[in-house]
Amino acid sequence: MKKYVLNESTGTLHILGYCTHSTHKFDNAITFETEQEAYKFAGKHIKLCKLCERKKEAILKEQN
Ligand SMILES: [Zn+2]
């Protein structure tokens, strides 16, 4: 399942459904199955969206 979506024009990687930016398709969106796949494709200059990162950490914390 494609879970990560990269906005190439801003270099921001979102996790689908984790923030308002990733709930709809934007122009130049490229999707990936894993975070690593996105970094392999676009390089280290891209960054994970702050909102998505916070939600990811909150979910991880809940699971532990
Ligand atoms: Zn996001």
pLDDT in tens, 7-50: 888 899 999 989 987 766 666 689 999 999 999 999 988 999 99
Q: 2 or 26, which is more confident?
A: 2
Query: How far away, in angstroms, is 51 Cα from ligand 1 center?
Result: 5
Quickly count: other Cβ atoms within 10 Å of residue 8's Cβ.
14
Q: Say what the pLDDT of residue 22 is.
A: 74
Q: Which residues have a beta carbon within 5 Å of ligand 1, which is an ion?
A: 14, 19, 21-22, 49, 51-52
Read off the tokens for 50. Answer: 């702050």
Q: Which amino acid is at 33?
A: E
Q: Say what the pLDDT of residue 26 is.
A: 64
Query: How far away, in angstroms, is 55 Cα from ligand 1 center?
Result: 9
Task: Look at residue 62 and tell me whether its pLDDT is greater than 80.
Answer: yes
- Contact (Cβ atoms closer than 8 angstroms) between residue 19 and residue 26: no
Q: Say what the pLDDT of residue 21 is.
A: 76
Query: How far away, in angstroms, is 39 Cα from ligand 1 center?
Result: 16
User: What residues contact 21, with CB distance under 8 A and at least 6 apart?
Assistant: 7, 12, 14, 49, 51
Alpha-carbon distance of 5 to 29, in angstroms, equals 6
